[in-house]
Every structure is written in structure tokens, then in C-alpha cells.
Structure 1
């Protein structure tokens, strides 16, 4: 039975947490284990590697992982053909011991080279990657051994922390695009998304990104667009001071134009503006001036640097007005507001950087800071509000020309449609609420918390094939309410919420976080295996009587996004340990104030771009690119109650165009 018209709903994930989940790669981590790394930092580095492994599909026909440590001598922990399961690899990483000696990176690269060979577990024809993590300058030559390894088609990524030298990191990777740097090990977590995107982009010769779908025996055909910046207001705030030569300024223009090329420009899509600054700022064109990509590109080509000093703070203050409606800003329509600051030096007015950039964020503007040459990293982080995922740095202006590829992957999260993505389709997420029911919460405050949660649920598209909700409470012990697969309507969820009772007791958040992990299991309704985002919303009013960090890290390592809402005199550091990032932490003075933050919590819920494809009546199967980033659901346009079953099976295909090319993804057909 094939209805005359079925529609296939496809969800494109802006999140890259599973973007390379089914890309077969040979990856070796080469890990600095020298004495300059503290015990705490060494553990953080291992957690970072474990988190990357947790986002990968490990298996004989999928991704292979190996780890080598190095200090004065290299030490192979396990090779590519040792383990074929995530659990085994994670246990092996846990068992690693720090070597505590010197930093001989070049010697380690020579040693690790042989482990990519077939005799040591490497696979011919499969992409091979070396990820080097180091915190300092190598005490031997790295340039020659790294170049020799790259000549064998091994792609090297260099991740530097603390005292690592950026020039040496580039010698290791051979390209600035494969260099990553963080100030300390605690910030490594920020690199995960960027790194996964890079691995994906390099996997262009692989075949497991193709998937074959049958919908109740009915074939279908689709054409899927690559990820683009589709709807945003973006203003470039560009340093035009005297320190920038005409050639360097040309590189800035190339960067901006490359960014515009990858966007969908239009009156109702992405709009651009440009402000140049030196001693004083000046707007060259505003968001409402141009409605075509060609006009924006022409305008960028015609701008000239003003020369003068680098008054960045003054320029930030000046830029705020240009997001207003009078200049074409669409904040009132919930369109993402983005400022991209490009600078090559220290600000002449550094003391005002924080208040100026904080004011922009308060007004709903997301600030990306891009530093070149002499730009000061601390100033870049200040402008981005401490969010290092929005900070980019390159050593020279030539490297700036290609940086747009890195930023585009991060910008996706800032330009996803939010509430507007209900057109043309629905949102997908699994959301668990974990509610504090301890005795420190009065009856009136407890009622306000339940009402707040009910209002959040009311704003969500709760359905079996859209958003699923589960709830648990906690005090001395966790208390089960319902799993994700219990209810398929918001009315039923709200009815249950309004019936639950407070038991009182003490506040044991760590125990509750450990308990809640089972709510994200497939057997309890989680769709984590279908790449549906997993979210936990914790609401609490007090300090925990037990440790929270280990349980929270374990949840996040499983790909669960944790939000924390603290009410009253809460322990901010403890809540930050739970969420792992301040962007997912919300506080209010009392339970009456919960209503004021409801919109913030709703706005950051996962939201995805949906595409529709008509069913074709013919005896064909479909192969399409991008299986790991897509979720297929079949439903009848004519009879909504009819849901044909969808089955997915991996297939191989010799050629395809990668999304990183900026071109459209292609659907290919073959006859049964």
C-alpha cells in the first residue's frame, strides 16, 4: 500500500555532536604526558578524549581508535586493532598513567607513524588522522617528522594548551585550519564541536555517509541543501587602523566575502552590514541597504581602511544602534543578531571592552571575535563573553581568508531558526525535568516551580514524534514520576505535573544526577540512537549535600545537554559544574522570578531545520548523503493517523560531494 502522496519529514541537526558518528576513520591520539601538566589537567585531558570517543561509532567496520602517550619517550597504550567497542576504549583511557618527564614531540611522531600501517592495524583506503594534544614547546624538532607523516596522507590536528607555541602547532599540522588552542585544559571541552566538524570535512572519500531508506516499500527522492546561514542579521565590525596594510585589509575583505558567499542573502533571509573603525567608527552600509548577495559583495569590495588608532570599545558601543529596526535589524522577529569583530591588535581603550560587549549581549547580540597577528587573546575572550567557541585566532592575514570555514560550523548554532523552525516542520528533542522537592522549599514556592515547569511544557511541541518529556523529583533520594515514553501529549504531561506531591528532605543533587541517567536509555523512551538531542533541566533552590561534578560530567559525556535553574541563594560554582558552561545556567532570586526566565529557557531548547520531500511512485530505492545528520519519519499527508514504518540500512557508494564543498547534497537512485 503506497498512498498517492506521502511526505517525508527530515531533520537536519545543527548540533555536530554526532555529525561523524558513522564515518569510518583511523584516529590516533598522541597525548603529551610530561611533568608540566598537573594531575587535574591530565584527568581533564583524558575526559576530553573520552568525550570525543563517546561521540563516535566504534566497530570493526566503523571508527578505530588508538592512543599513544609521550614524554621523554613515547608509550603506545593501545593500537588501532586492539579494541572495537566504546566501553573497552574508555576503560583503557581511564587506566592510563601520567609519565611525568620531558616533552619530546618529534620522537613521538616518528614512533607513532608505524602504527598507521596495515601490519599495526591501519586500514588502506580509510581516512587516517593524528590528534596531538600538548601543553608546551617540544624539546626536539617536529617539523620534519610531521611533514613525513603528512606525506603518507595522515591528516594531523594540533591541539595546544597553555604554553604551547602556535607556530610549532602549525608546523605539526601543516595548516592553520587544523590548529586549535586553549588557555587551559578546562577549556578543551569548547573545542569538541569544532574538532568534530573538521573531522567530518576531511572525510570526503568515505562511503558510510550514504543510507538507504524504505518506507513501507514505497521509494522516495529528495534533494537536501548543505548547511548554510539562512536567517540572521550579521554586522562585520572591522579594524581599519594604521597597523593594517592594504594587502592585509584585502585579506579581511576576502574573509567577509567568503562568509557572504556561504549565506542565503535576502530581505527575509540573511542581511549584512559593515562598520569600519580606527580612532573613530563609521558605518559603511547597514542591514537594510542590500537584498542580494551580489550587491553585498560589491559593497565589501569597495570599502577602504580609515587608518588611525584601535578604539575597539568605542566601536562596540557605536555598533549597538545598527541592530535597531530603523537600520534593518529584526530583533523583534526573533532573528539572530550577530556581530563579528575582526581586529589585529590590542585595543587603545581596553577598560571599556567588557561593559561594551556585555551591553551588546544584554541587547540580544551574539559577539564573535576574530583576532589576527597581534590581537590579545584575553580581549578576544572578553568581547565574546568568555565563550571560547566564539573566539578565533590566526597568525596572519592570509590564514584569515580561510577561517570562514571554521566559523560557519559554529555560527549554525547561532542562526538556527529557534521558535520559527515550527515552519515548515516540527522540533525534535528528549527533555527530562529534574525537580528539587526538598524541605527548604515552601509549599507556595513548590507550587510556583510546578507551574513554571508546566508552562515550559505548554510551550513545547509534545508528541511521540516531536518532543518527549520525562520528570523525576529528588531530595534525600530521587523519586520517579514518568519516563519519556509515558505520555504523547502536553495535556497528559501537565496533568501529571499538577498531581505530584512534595515529600521534603535534604538536597542530594549528585545522587539525583546519577539516578537520572537511566531516563535517557532507549528502553525508557529515549531516542538517542536516532540522534535526537538529549536534554536535562534541573531546578533547585540550594547547595547539594553531596558531590555533583562526577555525575554531571558523566551525563555530559553521554551527549546530554544539562541546563540548571538556581533559585535563591544557590552555589553558583556547583551549578556551573553541573552545566559545564555558563550559557546553560540560569538564576533567579526567588521562585516568583521563575516566570522572568521562562523565555530564555524556551529559546535555547533544541530546534532543527525541517525539509519536506514528496513520495515518488516507482520501483526505485533511494541513496542519499548525510545519514548521521538526518532522521527520517514517514507520515501520510492525506491520513495523519497512517504511519508507515521506516527502515534504515547502511550502503556504500563510490562517489559523492561532501557538504563542506558548499554545494547541494545529491540524491542518487538505483534500480532494485
Structure 2
């Protein structure tokens, strides 16, 4: 390769780099991410709320405020999140079903109208009830939705919870448990909540000291529920339209670059052949001119 060809190729390489930089398609950008975003898919959530007599009216009001805050954190619609609610004490009572309210405003009004029933703490009976009555197509359960229960209670169950909890979870329902108050400072009662909650205890079991503390825990609990009802996706930091434009620019640049390489190579080879022919002709002429003439 002669010096002129070398500089021509060097200039084209510089042009390629310049075009790549101007397009913004730099190394590593395709794989850079801003982080994770929780986008909830279809979720059918049943709130299982303790309305036993051991909860004061003020604390029951605080629990209702917590429920309202949870509703505000979710995208409520027939195609996204549906929320049903069952209050339990000695016996369970469905306040509304999954398909009863299809927007946040309607749900918030329904929460405000809940009245505490009082009585004992039949947690096991309540778990059986929602398995048999709440997660059914006739009351709004969708076959392609994530099934979730959020249990809020202030005390130890007065019936057995082991088998009802297992039967519920065996149907594919994910169970979150929130224990409120000093009753769960004992290992025995805390173990009862562990039995009810889904396997990943760290993200499915919460113990708060008072009903006032529910407000502080709302964000963490909402996030855990959101993650349970989503496919966690990493979102790229670039606009897809911009990426497509940059990719087209890169391909065109490579095409131009390849064409220039081919043209330069073809032109250079033609010049080399012409120079070679000229050299051979000069050599031939020199050779013929150097032969002495014959003597007469």
C-alpha cells in the first residue's frame, strides 16, 4: 500500500469515528439502565381485615385510613388491580367483592363506610371463607391475574390456621400478613403469622407496634405487594426512537465506509497495474535501445 492510499484510508477511519460520535451511539450506552420500575400487571387483591372487639374504634379508623392509603398506591381498574374486602371476627363478612368497584373513588367511599362488627378472632375460618367465596370468577376473579391476600390482625387466632392457610396458598394465592400490637411480641403468636404468610417471610410478614404505625409501614408494604404483582423490568435510559435512528446512521455509515474501501482498493490496484505496465515498457524500450547495430 502506497503512502497516498494509507492517508486515504486514515481519513475514512476518522470520518467513521466522527459519524459514530455525532450519532451518539457510543460504547456501553445500549446496555446502560436507569434502574428498575415496578409496573403492576393484573392483580386480584382481597383485604382480610380484623374487626374483632379487641380493636378500639379509633384504631379501626386508623386501619381504614391505612386501607385508603394502600388503594391510592395501586392502579385500580378492571384491566389492572381489583380489590375486594372481607371483614372477619367470630365469622367472616364480605364487605364487597373484586368486581364491585372499578375505580379508586368508589373504593375509597366503600372503605369509609365500613363499620366494625366486633366479636372474636376466627382467622382460620376467614381464610377458608375467602378461598371458597372471594377468589371465584363469579365475583370478579380473572384467570390470568395475580392472586393476593393482605391479612391485617391484632391478635392470636381463636381457631386453627395451619390447614386453612396451606389450602389457600396451594391454590396459588400469595399471602401478606400484617400483625399489629404487642400480642405478636411472643414467639408463639408470631409463629402463627409465619404459618399464614407466604414463604418469603421477609417480604410477606410485617409486625408494627400500633395502628398508628401502619401509616409508616404503608410504603414498604405497598412496594412488596407491587413487586409480587409485576414482572420487574429494567428500563433503558434511551428513547427507543433515538436508538433506531442511531442504528440506521451506523448502518449507513458502515455501508459508505465499505463502498469507499472497495472503490479506493479498485482504483489503487488499477494504478498499480498501469505503473507496472509502464515500467515494463520502459524496460523494454531501454533494452531495445541498448542493442548495437550490426556491422555492414
The CA distance in 2 between the partners of 1:368 and 1:246, in whole Å, is 24
The structure 2 residue matched to 1:324, chosen from 126, 133, 136, is 136
| Matching residue within 117, 129, 143 for 1:306 | 117
Given the alignment of the two structures, is residue 388 of structure 1 paired with residue 238 of structure 2, yes or no? no
Match of 1:608 among 233, 254, 259: 233
Offset of residue 610 of structure 1: 5.4
* Preserved contact between residue 39 and residue 230 of structure 2 (Cα < 8 Å): no
C-alpha spacing 1:258/1:393, structure 2 compared with 1 (3 Å): same
What CA distance in whole angstroms lies between the structure 2 residues aligned with 1:258 and 1:229? 17
Tell me how far apart the structure 1 counterparts of residues 246 and 228 of structure 2 sit (CA, whole Å).
Answer: 32
Choose between structure 1 and 2: higher strand proportion.
Answer: 1
Q: 1 CA distance for matches of 2:121 and 2:219? A: 27
Contact 2:72 2:104 (C-alpha < 8 Å) held by counterparts:
yes
1:414 aligns with 2:228: yes
Q: Specify the alignment match of 1:404 in structure 2.
A: 218
The residue aligned with 1:358 is 166
Q: Deviations over 1:17-56 (max 9, x none)?
A: xxxxxxxxxxxxxxxxxxxxxxxxxxxxxxxxxxxxxxxx
Gaps spanning 5+ residues in structure 2: where?
1-22, 254-296
For residues 381 and 261 of structure 1, do their structure 2 counterparts lie closer, same or farther at Cα, with a shift above 3 Å needed?
A: same
1:42-81, aligned counterparts within 5 Å?
Answer: none
User: How far is 1:409 from its partner?
Assistant: 2.6
- Distance of 2:141 and 2:47 partners within structure 1: 14
Counterpart secondary structure, 1:367: strand
1:290 pairs with one of 98, 101, 108: 101
Structure 1 gaps, min length 5: 1-213, 418-606, 617-633, 645-672
d(CA) in 1 for partners of 2:234 and 2:48? 29
Question: 1:620-672: CA deviations, max 9, x gaps?
Answer: xxxxxxxxxxxxxx456997x96x9xxxxxxxxxxxxxxxxxxxxxxxxxxxx
Contact 1:239 1:344 in 2 (8 A): yes
User: Superposed, which structure 2 residues align to 1:501-580 within 5 Å?
Assistant: none
In the TM superposition, what is the alpha-carbon distance from 1:324 to its structure 2 partner?
Answer: 1.3
Paired with 1:410 and 1:215, the residues of 2 have a C-alpha distance of 38
- Measured in 2, the distance between the counterparts of 1:637 and 1:340 equals 47
**SS at 2:45's partner residue?**
strand
Q: 1:344 corresponds to which residue?
A: 154
Could you say which structure has the larger radius of gyration? 2
1:386: Cα distance to partner? Answer: 4.6
Cα deviation code 1:251-303 (max 9, x no counterpart) = 11111111111111111011101000001101111111111111111111111
CA contact (8 A) 1:249 1:305 kept: yes
TM-score w.r.t. length of structure 2: 0.66
In 2, distance between residues paired with 1:362 and 1:268? 25
**Given that residues 310 and 348 in structure 1 are in contact (C-alpha distance below 8 angstroms), is that contact kept between their aligned partners in structure 2?**
yes
Distance 1:227 1:608, change over 3 A: closer
1:625-636 aligned within 5 A: 634-635=243-244
CA distance in 2, matches of 1:362, 1:391: 18
- Quote the offset at 1:379 in angstroms: 1.1
Does the 8 Å CA contact 1:236/1:339 hold for their aligned counterparts?
yes
When the two structures are superposed, what TM-score results if normalisation uses the length of structure 1? 0.30
- How far does the alpha carbon of each residue in 1:556-601 deviate from its partner, in whole angstroms, 9 at most, with x for none? xxxxxxxxxxxxxxxxxxxxxxxxxxxxxxxxxxxxxxxxxxxxxx
Structure 1 residues 412, 285: CA separation in 2 closer, same or farther (over 3 Å shift)? same
Q: State the secondary structure of the residue aligned to 1:360.
A: helix
Whole-angstrom distance in 1 between the partners of 2:45 and 2:234: 20
Size of the aligned set, in residue pairs, is 216
Q: Which has the higher contact order (CA 8 A, sep 6+)?
A: 2
> What secondary structure is seen at the aligned counterpart in 1 of 2:175?
strand
Aligned to 2:270: none
Equivalent residue in structure 2 for 1:315, among 126, 130, 136: 126
Q: Structure 1 residues 317, 609: closer, same or farther in 2, change over 3 A?
A: farther
- Taking a change above 3 Å as real, the CA distance of residues 322 and 282 of structure 1, as seen in their structure-2 partners, is same
Alpha-carbon distance change, 270 to 613 in structure 1, aligned in 2, over 3 angstroms: farther
Question: Is 1:255–1:403's contact at 8 Å kept on the other side of the alignment?
Answer: no
Structure 1 609/272 Cα, relative in aligned 2: closer, same or farther at 3 Å? Answer: farther
1:135-162 CA-to-partner distances (Å, cap 9, x unmatched) read xxxxxxxxxxxxxxxxxxxxxxxxxxxx
Aligned to 1:371: 179
Cα 1:636/1:313, change in 2 over 3 Å: farther
Residue 215 of structure 1: how far off its partner (Å): 4.1
Cα distance in 2 for partners of 1:247, 1:306 equals 14
Q: Which has the higher helix share?
A: 2
Question: SS at the partner of 1:401?
Answer: helix
